[in-house]
Structures are given as C-alpha cells and as structure tokens.
Structure 1
Amino acid sequence: MDIARLEKLLDLYLDEGLDSETKRELEEMLLASPRARAFFWERTQLNAHLRQHGQESWGNDLDPGGEPPVEIAEVKSRNKSLVLTWIVGIAASVIFMGLGYWGMQTRVGGNAFRFAKNDSPQTSTVDGNAPLLSEVWVAVLRKAVDVEWNDPESAPSVGEPMTARRIQFENGLVEIQTNRGALIVLKGPADLEVVSDMEIRCAKGRLSVDVPPPAHGFLVQTPLVKVVDRGTAFAMDVRGDTTAEVHVIDGLVELMSPTEDSPMRELREGEAVGVAVDGLYKDIPADTKSFPSAADINSRTRVAVNAARQAWRQRRKAIASDPSCLLYFDFERTDPKEEGFKDTVIRNHANRATEGSDGTIVGCDWTSGRWPGKRALDFKNVSDRVLFAVDGEHESLTCIASVRLGAIDREFTSLLMSDDAIEGELQWQISRPQSDGSIGRLQFGRWGSTGWHAEDDFLSKPIIGPQQFGTWMQLAFVWDGETGVCSQYVDGVLVSRNSSRALSGARYLRTGRLELGNWTPRFELAGSSVVRNFSGRIDEFVMFDRAFSPEDILAFQDLKSAYWKGSHSDEWNHPANWMAGVSPLRSDDVYVDGGVERKAVFSDGVSDDLNRVIVGSKLGRYGELDITGGSLVATRSSDRHTRVGVAGGMGVVTQSGGNASLNSLQIGLDPQSQGIYQLSGGKLRLTRGVSPTTGSLDVGPQQGRGIFEISGGALSTRRGVTLGRDGGTGIFVVQGSAAEEIKIGSIGDGDGFWVQNPGSILKARVDEGGLTGIFIDDVTGIDGAHVMFENGALLDVGFSGPPIAGAWDVMKWEGRLIDSGLQFADDVDLDVWSFEFVDTDSSGAADTLRVTANP
C-alpha cells in the first residue's frame, strides 16, 4: 500500500476535492487493503471530531486558547504526513483512554456500539494535564409531544439546555436542536445520545436531521453505519444492530461502514439505502414522507395543546366540587352579564366558597396562559398582587399554583403570603441562596407562638434556574399537621420533604387574609427586604384543606392521566376512587395500582375512549382490575398500549364478562415485571399492534414474565402474538373447550402470526369437551400468518379433568410454519402425549399443530 498516495487522496476527500478519477482510485485502494480501510476509518473519525471544535484546517492551533506547545509547533513545521502521523497517534489516547464526553465506542472492522455506564458527560484529562473537555451545553430540547419517557424522573424538560446525555423514550416525538443549529426530530421508541453539538449516536429510532451551514459536517453514528452531512437534510430508521435505513431529503451525505466490503459511499437527494447486519448497502426506494418532520411535530403539538386545554376544562368541575376544596381560581373570564361582574375580581369557583374569598386584582394585567385562549394574570410591578381571604385553622393544607416565572430578581419572591402576624400564619415563596443568586428554591414557613422560628422553615434544594424562566411550571406544597411534615413539589415531582423540629405548640395553619404574588406585612421584619413581588404569570391556584398524597399531586399535574385510589369502594365509575377526584376521561392514560384490598372493578356502562390502561405500573406496585360487565375502551391513541405489569410492577386483570377493546396488550413488560390476564368470559378485542413485528398481544417481553390465560369468552386480534421477546418468558394458556373463539389476525387488514421464543410456553389443558383451538388468520395472503417456534419453545399439554384418549388441534394457521425446535415441557408425560405438524388441506405444507393422548 502506498501510504503517501493514500494520505493525498484522503486530503482531497476531506476537502471535497475528489474528481471522478481520484474517487475511483481511492475506492480501489480501500477495497483492496484492510490496512487502508482501517487508516481511512481513523482519519475520517478524527476529522469529524476536529470539525466539532473548529479545527478542520491543519494550519490552526490545536490549542484554541493560546500559542501551541513547542512540540506541536515543531511538528507543524514538518510536512503534512508527519502531522497526520502525530495526530493519529494522540487520537488513540484521546478516543480510547476513557474520554467520557463521547460516551459510546465504535470498533474498526466490527459492530461494537455501546453506551457508557455513566451517561453523564465528565471532565477528562490526558497524562494529568488540564481537562480537555468539561460540561457544556450542547443542545436544547425544543419540543416533546405525547412522550413516554423510559425514566420520567431524569427526563429532560422542554426548553432545558442539555449537556451531552442519553435520551430514551417509548412513544411520542421530540425535537432537539444543537448549539450549531442541527435540528433533529426523533420518533419513539428511541434510544439516542447527544454527544456534542456536532454529533449524535442513535441505537434505535426514526429520525430526520436538518443541517444548516453552521453545522456542516454533522455526524450521526449508529451500530451499522456512520452518516456525515455535507450540507443536507436526511432521514434514518435505526433498528439496533439489525438494520438501518438512510434517506436523503436534500443535498448530499457520506456513509461510512466498518465492514470490509463497503467502507464508503455518497448518497444524494432522492436516494436511499438499507444497511443490513453485515454492514453492506442495498439500494431501496426513497420514502422521506414517512419520517417525522418539523411539520409533524408542530401539527401534533397543536393537537396536544388543544387536548390538554380540553382535559383541563373537563376537570374544573371535579376540582371545584371536591369536598376539601376551599379555593379555586381558574383565571377564566367571568361572564360580563353575571351580576356583580368586575374585571378586577377573580371568582372562587369552589363549592365551599365563602364570602370574601373571591380575589381582588391589584395592578396586574390580563394576559395569555398555558394554552391559546387560556387567561392568566401578569405580575410585573412591586404593587401587583391578588388579595383574598379564607378564614379558618387547618390541620392540613395543600396549595397548587400554575406559574411562569419571568425572573428571580429579589432575595425572596412571594407566592402565597399571610399578613396577620399570628400563630399558624403561612408564607410560601421562592428564595435565592447566598451561594448562587441565579437559582431559586421553594421555601415554606409557619409563624410560631413566639414569632418566626427556623424549626418551621422548610427549604428545597436550589432547583429553579434560568432554564425554567418563561416556561410553565406547577408548584405545590402539602402541610400535614398530624405528622408535622411539609412536602413541596415541582411539576408533580417531590423536591423536599421535611419534618417540623418544633417540640411544642399547635401544628395547624391559619389562613385568614392572604396575598397571591406579593406581600405587605403589617409588622416590621428585621434584616430582610419587604419587597418580595412575584415576576411572571399565574393562571391557576387551588387550596384544599387536606394533605395530598404524592399520587394526588401527580394526578393534578398530569392532565392526561387518571390514577386509581380505591379508597371509597371498588367501583370504577365513582370519582372518589380516583386521585384528586379526577375520573378517567377521553384520551387519558389510566393507572391502576393499590393492592388486593383496593382493586378496581369495571362492571357497567361504556368508558370514554381512553389511550390505555396500565395495571401494576412501577417497581413495588401491585394493581388488580376486574372486568365483569360494560364496555372498557382504550383505543384513542394509536401508539399507546395497555400494559399489565410494567417497570417492575405486578399486575393482574381478570375478565369474566363485558367487552374490552384495546389497541394492543403487553403483559409482564421488562425486568422484574410480572403480569397476568385471565379471560373467562366476555370479549377481548385488540384492534392494533405494538409494532409490525411484535403484534397485538406481547406476552413476557424484554426480560419480563407474562401469562395470558383463556378459559371462556372470545379473543380476537388485528396482528400477531409474541411470547417471550428479548429474553423474557411468555406463557399462553388455553383451558378446555369453553372459549368461544381464539382468532389471531382476524380484525381489519392485518395478518396474524405466532412467534414463540425459547423458554416460552404454549400450554393446553383438554377437558371433556376437548380444546378450543387457536386460529392464525391470513388476511392479505402476502407471506403473512406465519407460525414460528424458535429452538427451545415449549409445549405443555395435559388434562383439566379425567384423562381421555384422543387427538386435538391446538393451533391452525393459513401461512407458513417455521419450526426451529418446538419441544414438550419437562413435566409432560411422554408415554401419554405426542404432537405433530399436520397438513389438513393437502397443500403440501403443514397447517395444524395436533396433540394426541393415549392414557
């Protein structure tokens, strides 16, 4: 190999100076020599990293902060090939000595692609010198619509600047923009890491990338291929380490594969390739319209905003009628025709409203709230406030406010303040720590019998920074006088929980005369500025005389979800059984947890069309739902799936009657999760699929454990059944002959299929009437309705009554059989039972799984 010639060709390539002849020469060298390909891989990867830091030109100082070290200056005086040798030498130490900023690694000649154990960016050093990189903002999450985060507690917030980090979510759309202007729209399920403002690494997801001139050279890495922008817009479909697609919308991209056969390729507007597990390229038809775009996310944002506003409107009545609600300001316009109308008055809509509890507006201007058409008050000046009175002493109190901060420009920013200077008076505000005046913390205080004491002054950590300014937040405090505990929340997340250290005295709160967004004390407060006005907007404020649980707070925050409480009875339709008194409404996600003694029973009526129902939703949580009658419908959102046992939870659903119509059903999803669905009566319809490959019924996926058992009623699906996907264990049980039908793929235009993975079990119990068979329907006739038994898939057969001799068809299908090793489970008596695949229609191919017993 002529290394000098290769270096020259690589220089031309990186400077976009190749003509047709030199391009052909470079391709021939790369195809002929593994060493040349390895050299090419290192050089292009290094070039991409150098571009990120504005060091594309060889003549630039490698240290942008000052003069280059003597050693580097000497090297730069030599020829370019020596510079390349030196650069490649240190590149290995930079790339492979644990530079945590990049977080993932690739390997020449293979498909290694992993996230670092620590997903957070870190400061790195080489040879003990000063840090090469430190935590910097590299991107911002511009939009997130209908997103189901894998870990909601650590998920980024919209508008929040991000350091290099990993982003994972199951459903929805997000839009990310890097500091160089590259715009990424990503659709779930997705697993992506923002490495820098010039690089992302995607393990899974459908995405589109729009690259403006400042981000020229933007790099997208996947397990199978690297894509380098050359001034383009392009789209990708990444499916882990199995397949990937690249579609060019505009301009030009360069593809780099680590395989020996296809190291480099240019792709232009209107062209597309698929990349298989071997890394080889295959031309495919371009289909850019099916990928997420900025227009898609804008459209879905408008729909989501309208849906959120409608959900809020629907829930106002439930809030106002809550027996514990003392005060409810919704800031909506009062009818001018109403008696006593004044535009400077906010009505208290609580059913328990008392005289004087309406709010008097002082100085504030009306403005827009969280959604178009929603009103809010704008607090700007030191005189702006809302005055009202709620008399009484309260052992427990919960207050929730929807606010948009404009600034934290004072030591204290008032939220809710009492001005009576008597025992039990409350003060709730945002304070600035002396160590950092740019960040605020929630602070709640209670006036004691002898004045203000630190024992009843409760602080959160500094959590409200400039990135929250201009965005809507829900702030809440909960005072539980019985236990002397004060809890504070931001957007439904607990940020502080403190116990009172006061050893004596009453623990009640006294309300009386109150101010929202300001404070005018009726006494001197030594050592502190009196001016504490709120700067920003408020569009909702609620006060309850009971202590909300964390689930109540979350239910109040999450407008699109309803959370089972079960404290009143087991009736689904009773509002008191739901957190914050909010019953499930159209398009809601419904969560059923609470244990055996607090199970939910759906027995009559027709539910609103929900997004999904989740039973047993989190580690340590157990949920139980009985469906005995009526119609439970959860098909509203096409990408939401009903789940029984998820995120480590345990869920049980028993259906003995009624109708359940769901998008799709996942049982026992992910590690430590267990789920059971028992169908003994009624009808269960699964009208969509989790995905084209997973089907409508997904039992025991992703290292979970799930059981679906049918002993009566009817099951019908649109797509197929998957047992034990991705290391889980799925069990499908048919008990006897009482079930009306088991039809897989019989709804709509989809084909049914059956995929049974190693260790998963198809269990059949024969009764005196025989066995209800499973039918796999082929609707399209295009290579669908296949039945696949992987090596180690298990068949468990037996009797549910006295043993009888005979043969029974367990399953029948209209497509192909792919049997890689179906076998009997260990406890099957091989002296009694046998099974075979039978051709019943003389087509020459097996279409039936039949078991035979000879007791």
Structure 2
Amino acid sequence: MDIDRLARLLDLYLDEGLDSETKRELEEMLLANPKAREFFWQRAELNAHLRQHGQEAWGVKVLGQDGEGGDKLPTVSESRQAKPILKWIVAGLAASLMLAMVGSWILRDGGRVGTRDQVALNSSDMNASNESSLDGGQSSSVDDERPVDGLRDVWVAVLRKAVDVEWKNPLNAPSVGEPMKARRIQFENGLIEIQTNRGARIVLKGPADLEVISDMEIRCEKGRLSVDVPPPAQGFLVHTPLVKVVDRGTAFAMDVRGDTTAEVHVIDGLVELSSQVVDLPMRELREGEAVGVATDGIFNNIPAASESFPSTAEINSRTRAVINEMRQSWKQRRKAISNDPSCLVYFDFERTNDGLRGNQDTIVRNHARDAEGNGNGIIVGCDWTSGRWTGKRALDFKNVSDRVLFSVDGEHESLTCITSIRVGSIDRTFSSLLMSGDAVEGELQWKISRTGADNPMGRLRLARRSAEWDNSVSDFLSDPVIGPQRLGTWMQLAFVWDGINRTCSQYIDGELVSHDFIQTLPDSSFLRTGQLELGNWTPRGSDEVMSPVRNFNGRMDEFVMFNRAFSQSEVLAFHDLKAAYWKGQKANNWSDPSNWFAGVVPTRSDDVYIDASDEQKAVFDSGATEVLSRVIVGSKTGRFGELEISGGSLFATRNSDRHTRVGVAGGVGIVTQSGGEVDLNTLQIGLDPSSQGTYQLSGGNLLLSRGVSATMSSLEIGPQLGRGLLEISGGTLMTRRGVTLGRDGGTGVFFVRGSKASRIDIGSFRDFDGFWVQNTGSTLKVRVDDEGVSQIRVHETTADDGANVHFSNGALLDVGFEATPSAGEWDILKWDGDLVDEGLQFASHVDTDVWSFSFVDTDSSGSPDTLRITAQP
C-alpha cells in the first residue's frame, strides 16, 4: 500500500477535490486493504478534532469578508495548519467518534437562520467553555465522558440542511443538526439534505414523504431525490412502492410519485433494480442510463436527465439566496425597531461610525430613538465573532468574566425582551441572559437553567424578586425545551411581562413555551431594570456571598427591550424575517407600515399572513408590491382573515414552491377582488380539515402562473378535507395549468355568476395544457343572467393530448337563473382534449323538470368537447 498516495487521495476526498478517476482509485484502495480503511478512520478522527477546536465550518465566509461588520476572520481554507474541513462522509462516519471523544453535542453549521420554515444551515464551532467550574458547592458541570441520552448508540442520520421547507407537521419536524433515530419525514415543499452515519447523503425536494429506516436503508413514498453513496455505505437501499434500488458504489437520482410512477437515473457507478409489483429478474443500471416504472412494475428505458434533480449545489445556491434576502429584510427592520417609541434598548452589535466616544471594540451602540446618553453597552471580555449570517457581527461569551454592562432606569408595568443567541453549552446550573444584581423588589433575572446534573436539557427561567425584606423570588419556568439538538443552533428567545393582564410568557423562535399568571399584588406586578448585564451576573446585594458563577456560553447577535407587552403574533413577526403579519390599525391600508407587526410593509420574497377581518381587514387598492413569496389569508384554527383588492398590482410569484392560500390549517379566509392585477404562483382555497376559503372575483385580472406540484393544478378548491369556493362574476381568470375541485376528501365549488366575466381561461398562459378535474361531492355552479353565462375554456397549448376534462362519480352540477327565468341553452364548459365522465349529476335541489345537461360535439371531431345546459320553456 502506497501510504503517501493514500494520504493524498484522502486529502482530496475531504476537500471534495476528487474527479471520477481518483475517486475510483480511492474506492479500490479502501475496499482492498484493511490498513487503508484504518488509516481512513485515523484521518477522519484527526479532522474531527481539528473541527472541534474552533474552525469555522464548510469554508463559508465569515465576519468582515463582504466588506461589512468588522475585522476579517480567517476561513478554514486560509488556515493551512488546519487539515481539510470535514465534508460529507466525515460528517457521518466521524460523528460517533466525535461524540465519544469530546462528549459535547457537536452538531452542524449555523442552525436556524432567520425564519420559521425558511432556511436552516449547518453551523460550526460549538466550543464549550473549558474553564474550571467556579460554582463552588453548587457546581454541576457536564460529565464529558457520558453519552447524551444514549443517542450515540441509536441515531442513524442527521438533517444537515433545510431550505424553504414547509413541514407537513411543524411540531414534529426534525431540527437541523439534530441526530435522528429511525423516523418519517414529510414536507410540502423546499429542499433538505440528510446524511446517514454511514456517510450516504440524500438531497430531497418536496412534496416529499420519506422514512429513514436505518443508516443503510430508506423508504420513499413521494419526492424527487438524489443519493450520493461513499464506499462505507455501499449497498445502500431505497424502497419505493414500485421499485427497490440497491446501490453498488454510485450516485443516482429518483422521482417517486407514490404508486403511480417512478424514475431512476444513474449519475455515476451502478445500481441494482428490483420490481416491487411483478416478479422480474434483477436489473443492473449503469452510469448515464435511466428507467421509468409505471403501475405495472415493468422497467422502461427513458432518456437520462440526472441534471434536473436536486443536488448539493442547488441547496447551497438556494441557501445563499435566502440568507441574502433575510439579511436585507433585517436591515429594513432595524429602522422600524429603532424608531419604535416603546424601544428602550436596541443592540444590533453592528459596527457604527457615528462618533461614539471610546474604543468601539468595547462599546455596543444603543440604537433606540429615545435612548439616553448612558444607554450604550460596555463590553467586558467578550470577543467579536460572526453572527447568524455572513457579515453579521456577534459577541462571543466564553469566560467567567465575559459580559455586557448597561443601564435602564425605572419600574415597568410591562416589558418585552428579545434576543438572538447560539448556545455553545449548558455547562452550569444557570446560564445568564439578562440579569440585574441590585437586590431590590422587582429585580429582573432571565436565564437558562439546567434541569439537573444528569440531564442536559435546559429551560427558560424568568425570576422576579418579590420584596427586599424577605429575599424571595417568583420563578416563571418553561418546560425543558433547550436540548442537545439546539446547541450550536441560532435561536431567538423572548419574554413578555404583561403587568396589565398579569401574565408572563416566554418564547423560542416565535413559539410559546411558557405562559403563567403573575401572582403578586396588583401594585407590585412591575419589573425593575436598573444596572443590567447581558450574559453574566454580578450580585450587588446579600446574594454576593456564595453566589454561583452564571456566565452564558455562546454567542449573541441582537438584543431588544421594549416597555410594552408584545402579543404572540408580534413576537412571531419579530422572529420571522421573511414573513409579514397583518395587524390592521390605520384605515386598513396595505402600504402603511403601522398596519404590519414589526412595522415593515411586506418586501421581496416575504410570506404574507392576514388574520384579521371586518373593520381590521387588509385593503390593497393602489401601487405595486414587490415580488412576494405567497399570501396566506386565514392561516390557522380560530383565525379569520379577510383581504380586499380593488386596484394596484399584487405579485406573489417569487418562490415556485409557495402557494397562495385562502383558509388553511383550520382557518377561515375571504378574498374579494373587484379590480387590480393579481399574479400568483398558484391558488389553494379551503385547504386542510376544518378550513374554509372563499375567493370572489368581480373585476380586475387574476393570473395563476404555475402549478401545485402534487397535482399540477394552478387552482385547487377544497383539497385535503377542506371546503373552498371560487366565485366569478366579472374580471378575468387565466391559469397556466389545470383546475382541481375537491381532493383527498375535500369539496370545492367553482361558481360562475352571470355573463360579466370577460375570460375564464384554464391552461392558456404560456406552455402547459389546462385540465379540469372535478371530484366526488364537488360542484360546478352556474347562474344564467339576461345575457347568458361566461364560458369556462380549457385550452391545449402544447399539442400533446392535454386539456382533458374528468368528472368523478358523484361530481355535481348546480344550475339556475341569476335573473328572470327563460328557456334556452348555454355552453358553460368547453375543452380541447378528451372527456372522462364517470357520473356527473345534478345537485339534489336542481329542478330536473326544467333543467338538463349534455356533452356535445361542436367541432365535428367525433368526440364531445362542450358541456351544455338546457332550460325548458
């Protein structure tokens, strides 16, 4: 064995510098020689140690490299004394070694960056404080040799990245960097990257339904995925409803659509295919080959198109784009925070050039508009480092002396504090976030408390000193919610002290984690601030004797204090940098910032949530929006949203995976459009159980320019047990793809009221055929006025036998008069393709002595192309 050559190949491998020839050479050496494999593990172990000791991961640029935020810090590639950074196989193969050797929960790079279900990146150094415990008898440092919760022995994979993901069940969604046991993963759209602890890497695009069975086996029911398998994972197995794929040292891609179709494309190497439907011989598939599998389970050769599948390059590119958008949104939000009259303190930890006295490396500027001269923070001991994204500055708290000192005078009936932090370790009983040591009534202490010496979980804890004379405190505790999976992950923490309603609430990433009643006398339910510290505690009263060290171990890149109580919606809006939440206060005007939580009008790529109605409904009547991601009206159970559009141009097409929804997750939504231009990717009305949605179009233009990936519909009414209604009495509707009424147990109504709509064109926009699918229980409803009724037109634009119409058994037709009844016949639906009628029928209340319907051939093609209704005299 040529050890020098092997070392060179491993260096290339860890730097992702192998080409196809050197990759094959390395594989042969590892498979042929046990000593080569042992050398591989030693190199992986070395890189794991180097990674733990403070290297910024994955070669991402850090602070100051884009010209913002301070002094330049070196990347891994600039530190040649450090070996190549851990890449895809090391992250899997060395993870268990890293856990056993260093004991701390070493996760991945960057954690949640910014918004809920928007983007998550892997993060780098998770350096726990190495100083000896100074807590005296109260010390409870973590035993470095003890595995955390036994997960070292059972985890099989890790979620490395998640970009623009909309989880099907957010409460049960995996966290980025979290080691996973065998589990099921489902999401509606977005991209994720999973890596098993044998090194196999799966990039998956939604809508997706995947089960991680073991470190060598997955089952995919739905989704587009690419799989990259290194030598230690050779034999990796993928189950689907139609085909089983066994890797034999390769990279391959798949498109899985339940039990209807599947495709397998080999990018590199060899796979073995077995039909799951019929008894066929095993088939080998090699580089550049591809097969399609239909419901019969037979393999059919198809052109290879592996470049169209999700890849690491794509997920990295989308990650960079989203981070840049979030940073721009954060910059816009800073001004609104600073100008909020209730803002007492705003530390953004950015470098300022506005004439601050003293050394800027030891001063953090208070940007609150009404901040007094002494409102700036004094940095003691902390080092500057990188924050949530490239160029964002943060303070690194490591040593027992690290802290930020500042002062805010007064007693506050209500107070809201929000901070963005990344926890390095929970190595003390208490890790201070915001503390006062004044030892007076109302004294504030906010910290993370560990549940016990043998338990790595932490909980948020807000304490208030009750009275000077009895030295007692009132504690407000969350459940243990900060676990090992959150270490090294950016998260936003908040507490809201509401002395008026006498409640104390705490939040993580905008989600409520504790809500308690304040049990004090009405005249003593205040919080006192005074001399404060971030990240540490210096007691100045009777607590000084025998007080444990409570320094915070981690990073902080934003801190805000307001002298009012935020609502839950406002806390969530503050967290979601790429979401805008309607508040509705001043004349309902969309363009007024005061009508939006966080004080910023929706900007480019935002998700917009409208959950107010009647006098607080949203009104859009002029101007043009930036290109938004989507609009959600009535977003959750118990929420009623209403949007009125009478003019202007509203665009929501930025992210092809995002669908505008009216009534979702149990909410009720209403949109009324009487004018203006509305351009949406897709429109879903009444989605999910208990959801109800209505879209009334009486004027203006509504364009649906993409398709829902699950059905290829541009318009879905009443899918997934929901109830939806689209009513058209004027204006123009144009779609790129088809219309689906009802799906998976839901019911939808497509209502054409009279003859005033100028166009109802399905599939006429650009390059796809339209179609009409009307499922059982869903209704096509028409009302004839004195001039007739506007016709629905299903277009074929590609000449590939599309533009079909399908009525399921039990699909309903509801007809009647809008004006004075009269005899006649009217063509209400016309199509260019084929008809499949399994049982269209009149709704029960239609008078069949008056009305009848028929399918008519109007172009002498020999096949029906029109649905005609007839009223008898």
TM-score by length of 2: 0.80
Aligned to 2:802: 784
Q: How far apart in 1 are the matches of 2:824 and 2:800?
A: 35
For the 8 Å contact 2:769–2:803, the answer to whether it is kept is yes
For the 8 Å contact 2:278–2:296, the answer to whether it is kept is no
Aligned to 1:322: 340
Q: How far apart in 1 are the matches of 2:318 and 2:581?
A: 25
Deviation string, structure 1 residues 731-771 (Cα, Å, up to 9, x no partner): 10100011121111222222222111222111110001111
For the 8 Å contact 2:207–2:710, the answer to whether it is kept is no
Query: Of the candidates 619, 625, 647, which is equivalent to residue 607 of structure 1?
Result: 625
Q: How far apart in 2 are the matches of 1:456 and 1:296?
A: 50
Q: How far apart in 2 are the matches of 1:509 and 1:224?
A: 63
| SS of corresponding position for 1:168 | strand
1:288 CA displacement:
0.9
Aligned to 2:239: 221
Distance 1:134 1:180, change over 3 A: closer
Amino acid at match of 2:625: S
For the 8 Å contact 1:570–1:577, the answer to whether it is kept is yes
Amino acid at match of 1:711: S
For the 8 Å contact 1:252–1:268, the answer to whether it is kept is yes
Query: Of the candidates 365, 381, 403, which is equivalent to residue 399 of structure 2?
Result: 381
Distance 1:387 1:764, change over 3 A: same
Aligned to 1:722: 740
Alignment of 1:83-482 (within 5 A): 136-262=154-280, 264-335=282-353, 342-450=360-468, 456-482=474-500
- Structure with larger Rg: 1
Aligned to 1:536: 554
Aligned to 1:126: none
Query: Of the candidates 691, 703, 722, which is equivalent to residue 704 of structure 1?
Result: 722
Aligned to 1:591: 609
1:815 CA displacement:
2.5
Deviation string, structure 1 residues 639-685 (Cα, Å, up to 9, x no partner): 11100111122111111122211111011112222111111111111
Aligned length: 724
Deviation string, structure 1 residues 245-269 (Cα, Å, up to 9, x no partner): 1112222222233334325322222
Which deviates further from its counterpart, 134-143 or 188-197? Answer: 134-143
Q: How far apart in 1 are the matches of 2:152 and 2:558?
A: 40
Deviation string, structure 1 residues 430-472 (Cα, Å, up to 9, x no partner): 1222253533221111112236766611222222233322221
Aligned to 1:59: none
For the 8 Å contact 1:680–1:712, the answer to whether it is kept is yes
Q: How far apart in 2 are the matches of 1:692 and 1:202?
A: 15
Query: Of the candidates 633, 641, 649, which is equivalent to residue 631 of structure 1?
Result: 649
Distance 1:484 1:808, change over 3 A: same
Distance 1:692 1:482, change over 3 A: closer
Distance 1:528 1:852, change over 3 A: farther
Q: How far apart in 1 are the matches of 2:546 and 2:498?
A: 28
Q: How far apart in 1 are the matches of 2:539 and 2:727?
A: 66
| SS of corresponding position for 2:195 | strand
For the 8 Å contact 1:354–1:390, the answer to whether it is kept is no
Deviation string, structure 1 residues 782-818 (Cα, Å, up to 9, x no partner): 2122222223222211101111111111022223333
1:632 CA displacement:
1.5
Q: How far apart in 2 are the matches of 1:426 and 1:534?
A: 16
Amino acid at match of 2:189: N
Alignment of 1:53-68 (within 5 A): none
Query: Of the candidates 812, 815, 833, which is equivalent to residue 851 of structure 2?
Result: 833
| SS of corresponding position for 2:351 | coil
For the 8 Å contact 2:465–2:473, the answer to whether it is kept is no
Deviation string, structure 1 residues 571-598 (Cα, Å, up to 9, x no partner): 2222222223333111100111134443
| SS of corresponding position for 1:440 | strand
1:523 CA displacement:
2.2
For the 8 Å contact 2:411–2:529, the answer to whether it is kept is yes
**Does 2:666 align with 1:648?**
yes
Which deviates further from its counterpart, 557-566 or 445-454? Answer: 445-454
| Structure 2: gaps (5+ residues) | 1-150
Distance 1:821 1:528, change over 3 A: farther
Deviation string, structure 1 residues 295-318 (Cα, Å, up to 9, x no partner): 111111111111111111121112
Distance 1:831 1:453, change over 3 A: farther
Q: How far apart in 2 are the matches of 1:438 and 1:771?
A: 67
Distance 1:452 1:234, change over 3 A: farther
**Does 2:694 align with 1:670?**
no
Amino acid at match of 1:517: G
| SS of corresponding position for 1:708 | strand
Q: How far apart in 2 are the matches of 1:699 and 1:439?
A: 44
**Does 2:865 align with 1:847?**
yes
For the 8 Å contact 1:606–1:630, the answer to whether it is kept is yes
Moved over 4 A (4+): 336-341, 451-455
Q: How far apart in 1 are the matches of 2:484 and 2:710?
A: 43
Amino acid at match of 1:832: V
Distance 1:336 1:677, change over 3 A: closer
For the 8 Å contact 2:704–2:736, the answer to whether it is kept is yes
The percentage of counterpart residues that share the same residue type is 70
Which deviates further from its counterpart, 498-507 or 606-615? Answer: 498-507
1:711 CA displacement:
0.5
Amino acid at match of 1:737: S
For the 8 Å contact 1:328–1:542, the answer to whether it is kept is yes
Which deviates further from its counterpart, 283-292 or 572-581? Answer: 572-581
Query: Of the candidates 525, 531, 554, which is equivalent to residue 507 of structure 1?
Result: 525
Q: Over aligned residue pairs, what C-alpha RMSD do you find?
A: 2.1
1:692 CA displacement:
7.9
Distance 1:276 1:452, change over 3 A: farther
Aligned to 2:89: none
| SS of corresponding position for 1:758 | coil
Using CA pairs below 8 Å that are at least 6 residues apart, which structure has the higher relative contact order? 2
Which deviates further from its counterpart, 161-170 or 216-225? Answer: 216-225
1:499 CA displacement:
2.1
Q: How far apart in 1 are the matches of 2:236 and 2:607?
A: 38
Alignment of 1:724-803 (within 5 A): 724-803=742-821
Aligned to 2:503: 485
Distance 1:574 1:340, change over 3 A: farther
For the 8 Å contact 1:711–1:734, the answer to whether it is kept is yes
Aligned to 2:679: 661
For the 8 Å contact 2:333–2:598, the answer to whether it is kept is no
Amino acid at match of 1:250: D
Q: How far apart in 2 are the matches of 1:244 and 1:451?
A: 73
| Structure 1: gaps (5+ residues) | 1-132
Q: How far apart in 1 are the matches of 2:468 and 2:700?
A: 66
Aligned to 2:839: 821
